[in-house]
Structure 1
Amino acid sequence: MRRLGAGIGWRPEIADAVERMPGIDWVEVVAENVCPGHLPESLRRLRERGVTVVPHGVSIGLGGADRPDAGRLTALAERAAALGSPLVTEHIAFVRAGGPLTASPRLEAGHLLPVPRTRDALDVLCENVRIAQDALPVPLAVENIAALIAWPGEEMTEGQFLYELADRTGVRLLIDVANLHTNHVNRGEDPAEALAELPLEAVAYVHVAGGFERDGVWHDSHAHPVPEPVLDILTDLASRVDPPGVLLERDENFPEPPGLERELAAIRGAVGKGRATGATPSPKTAETSAPARRAPSDAVRQRLGLAQTAVLSSLVAGTPVPEGFDRARMRVQARALAAKRADVVAKVAPELPEILGEGYRAAFLGYAQGQPMTGGYRQDALDFAGHLLFTGRFTEPRVRRELREWWLERSGPAPRSSRPVVRAARAARRVLMRQA
């Protein structure tokens, strides 16, 4: 496996800092946030300097009951080619449910949700991974996720599930040690036991991130410093295998560059501490010359689809919690999904909180309670604005006028105006209207 070294998640907000940061061997980008034909100049400059760029997908949903969407796989392949990446990564998760497989409305989570660790789910995941591997021009690595909820009736531990996945498909693993810590707090799972069961020679690289604990629940925020327990898990991993790459993830609440550099130094220190104890190769093997192929039947996919739809519908549409799930944890997860929707819509459509002011968040959370997301976040923003206009939630003339103008601008087959000068003029007019 190619050596990557020490890296950091590239985000537009810290692009300049990353370019100037010493000791950065590689960066990871959210695949869906880059356009192959219009790469950010910062990424171009990093590539010209020989810095490796790895696209990290978040929307395919390899753990879902449906087979992976060909268009999404093509888009991920195009980004790998445009970035000259040695591999691409995705998650062991489901992100949507419903649709023709279950004869129910399609629902989007807008988040990574855990798959049940059952034989049926493993069979579906293995076939989905093989489909993705065949569609991609470079090797695929898949990541273990953090979870607030646990499925009832699971048949395997996380380590056993990942071992069988790697053994049957030859897929590489992206091990997130912060997610192992999250699952330790939230689900009582021992990180050391998980590491002991993994085929560690299948590790492509490692994620490290921060979070916070509230009311006994660990939230994998990617917006807080990396805590000591996560660094301890990283040290344990590095004592078992020398990871080809280690990467710091940070998505918001970015510290000043010296703060990021201190976190990277702590990560390097944790890896060095583990190496000093002597990494010993695992006797297990992650690949076989003829991986077992057990294609799931349509009935298996449908059973999994119905189960995932029931869970997601409970989280985003207020339907009853399926039997066997922790109701309190499901409520926490539902609130977290709604809050994330509000935050992401505010990022993809920053004009909406600008137009609605302090009333934006309460209005969006009220909307989200009865309106599940059925498309992406940009469609969610349009649907939210249309909902407000239809229901008359805001009656102030200025708000309704600007909201209607924003919605009309974006809801047609093509923008009513696409020239930057027109958009700038409209923004200036809004400012003058407020000052009047």
Structure 2
Amino acid sequence: MAQVGAERLGTGIGWRPAIAEAVEAMAGIEWVEVVAENICPGHLPDSLRRLRERGVAVVPHGVGLGLGGAERPDPVRLAALAERAQALGAPLVTEHIAFVRAGGERTASPRLEAGHLLPVPRTREALAVLCENVRIAQDQLPLPLAVENIAALFSWPDEELTEGQFLHELADRTGVRLLIDVANLHTNHVNLGEDPSAALDALPLEALAYVHVAGGFERDGVWHDSHAHPVPEPVLAVLAELASRVRPPGVLLERDERFPSAAELAAEVARIRRTVASAGRTPVLVGARPAAGPGAGPTGPGAAKVPAKAAGETVRTRLAIGQTALLSALVAGTPAPEGFDRGRLRVQSRTLAAKRGDVVAFLAPELPRVLGDTYRPRFLRYAAGRPLTGGHRSDALAFALHTLRHDPPAGRRARRELRDWWIERSGRASLVGRPWARWARVLRFALLGR
């Protein structure tokens, strides 16, 4: 659908169940963002309902569309995202410029899931595919769409555009609004040597929907966008530079793990608010461009979309082959494609496996409780060479069964609890008294010795 002018959102924070009470009590919170895939439209959390009743806007933030992938957006996923946006009464909906899966029929290979956001190549062909995918999403969503730049641990070989140029052309061709994550600009500065100021120079800031701010940490020269640490000064400096160029319609703190006290969260939101307020600003007018990127045309509310030929199937297939080879190297242990930094791919591979284990632990907290400190190393051993091909709930079941068969915990009690958990969650408990029962007894004897 056609994009509209950015709504004034103000200062917000990412709503998460673990900090719901703190968010509700926090003074000055004007809006919140929620991970779209983590809510059920018919059963919204009471906390979100109370916030909406107070007039706090709620924005759904999708992570599963994979708009940068070689395939066109899944209509089922688009419909689910639209349903959540409508249930929340949201002013807009957001997603990422990333690919999250690869393989399948186009490449005659198994479908692979990354379990996380991966960067798209900044090439003309990948841009054409992304633009077409964004237009499809815009047509199917009932609200304006904004897309976010992501953090990257590695870059693709033979890229043709800078990050700013890539985002600029995307906004020009589609009219999509931009969600700019200043923490990701800092991440790409440390990891890829990209200058945040140059990216801001090239961005069509009049297309800005809102801004993300988050913390991270540096290890061995690599910045990890963890969303689990306080926002560092370099990220606030990028925010200040952006705010000196344009007044952001909204600014939001993202925190996903290792939540601090409510007072610390409130103090961090206050720092972000002060950073924006104290930045000297030269207002950017709609239709004006503070620093145009190469070949850029006008963007912003009411701007005409630049005509562009739809990405052909050959282009999509070439992109699919490249993304599948890369993802296979990251999650299935196949050789790294030519031209990539193999050291960075190893870091990314470990990060993907760790995030996958974190999601399983979130969905099935009984597993880390039963396995204790051995949960993470066990999961990493399990994940090595076993790519995520289905959902994370299936992954949890497969991990539990693999552990029972090949890597059982030493204690009899832990083995029993893990076995009982798997039987109950896999639905096998309903087969007791049928031929399954004999198999269950065999498993019990094999694992427990009785």
> Aligned partners of 2:374, 2:305: CA distance in 1, in Å?
58
2:226 alignment partner, SS class: coil
Residue 17 of structure 1 corresponds to which residue in structure 2?
22
Structure 1 residue 279 corresponds to structure 2 residue 283: yes
| Shift, 1:38, TM fit | 0.4
How far is 1:55 from its partner? 0.3
Measured after TM superposition, the shift of residue 409 of structure 1 is 1.6
Listed one character per residue, the Cα deviations across residues 236-294 of structure 1 (whole Å, up to 9, x for unaligned) are 111111110000001111111111111111111111122x3433444253254243131
Q: 1:119 aligns to what?
A: 124
Say which of 337, 349, 354 aligns to 2:364.
349
Instruction: Find the aligned partners of 2:71 and 2:420 in 1 and give their Cα distance.
Output: 38
Identity of aligned residues (%): 71
Matched position secondary structure for 1:23: coil
CA deviation map 1:320-360 (0-9, x unaligned): 11111011111111111111111211111111112223322
1:196-275 to structure 2, matched below 5 A, reads 196-274=201-279
Name the SS of the counterpart of 2:28 in structure 1. Answer: coil
Q: 3-state DSSP class of the match of 1:101?
A: helix
Corresponding residue number in structure 1 for 2:440: none
Tell me how far apart the structure 1 counterparts of residues 411 and 385 of structure 2 sit (CA, whole Å).
24
In structure 1, C-alpha distance between the alignment counterparts of 2:372 and 2:228, rounded to whole Å: 24
Task: Choose the corresponding residue for 2:392, options 354, 377, 385.
Answer: 377
Paired position in structure 2 for 1:368 = 383
Equivalent in 157, 174, 183 of residue 179 of structure 2? 174
Secondary structure (helix, strand or coil) at the match of 2:83 reads helix
Aligned-partner Cα distance in 1 for 2:308–2:235? 35
SS at match of 2:384: helix
- Structure 2 match to 1:4: 9
Normalised by the length of structure 1, the TM-score is 0.92
Mapped to 1, the partners of 2:239 and 2:272 lie a distance apart of 8
Deviations 1:89-116 (A, max 9, x none): 0000001111111110111111100000
Question: What amino acid is aligned across from residue 206 of structure 1 in structure 2?
Answer: V
Residue type of the alignment partner of 1:161? F
Amino acid at match of 1:88: V
Q: Write the mapping of 1:83-102 to structure 2, written as runs, cut at 5 A.
A: 83-102=88-107
The 8 Å contact of residues 355 and 403 in structure 1, kept in 2 or not, is answered as yes
Is the CA contact 2:408–2:415 (under 8 Å) kept in the aligned structure 1?
no
Measure how far apart 1:395 and its partner are: 6.0
Q: Is the CA contact 2:119–2:150 (under 8 Å) kept in the aligned structure 1?
A: yes
Structure-1 separation of matches of 2:278 and 2:339: 42
Alignment partner of 1:66 is 2:79: no
What is the CA-CA distance between 1:402 and the residue it aligns to?
2.3
- Contact kept, 8 Å, 1:410 with 1:416, in 2: the verdict is no
State the alpha-carbon separation in 2 of the partners of residues 392 and 416 from structure 1: 26
1:373 is paired with a residue whose SS is coil
- Is this contact kept in 2: 1:238–1:279, CA < 8 A? no
Could you tell me whether the CA contact under 8 Å between 2:152 and 2:187 is conserved in 1?
yes
- Answer whether contact 2:102 2:113 (CA < 8 A) is retained: yes
Asked if 1:294 is matched to 2:317, the reply is: no
Q: Report which stretch shifted further, 402-411 or 126-135.
A: 402-411
1:56 and 1:89 in contact (8 A); partners too: yes
Q: Quote the RMSD (CA, aligned, Å).
A: 1.5
User: Whole-Å Cα distance in 2 between the matches of residues 302 and 411 of structure 1?
Assistant: 37
Q: Output the CA distance in 2 between the equivalents of 1:256 and 1:203.
A: 31
User: Which residues of structure 2 form unaligned runs of 5+?
Assistant: 1-5, 293-297, 432-450
Counterpart position of 1:339: 354
User: Paired residue for 1:403?
Assistant: 418
Q: How far apart, in 2, do the equivalents of 1:130 and 1:403 lie?
A: 46
Residue in 2 that maps onto 1:163: 168
Tell me, in whole angstroms, the C-alpha distance in 2 between the residues paired with 1:177 and 1:220.
Answer: 11
Runs of 4+ aligned structure 1 residues displaced above 6 Å come to none
Work out the CA distance in 2 between the residues paired with 1:263 and 1:56: 21
Amino acid at match of 1:308: Q
Which one of the candidate residues 120, 143, 146 is aligned to 1:141? Answer: 146
- Conserved 8 A contact 2:9-2:249: yes
CA contact (8 A) 1:208 1:248 kept: yes
Structure 1: runs of 5 or more not aligned: 418-436
TM (norm. structure 2) is 0.90
Match of 2:436 in 1: none
Deviation at 1:167, TM superposition (A): 0.4
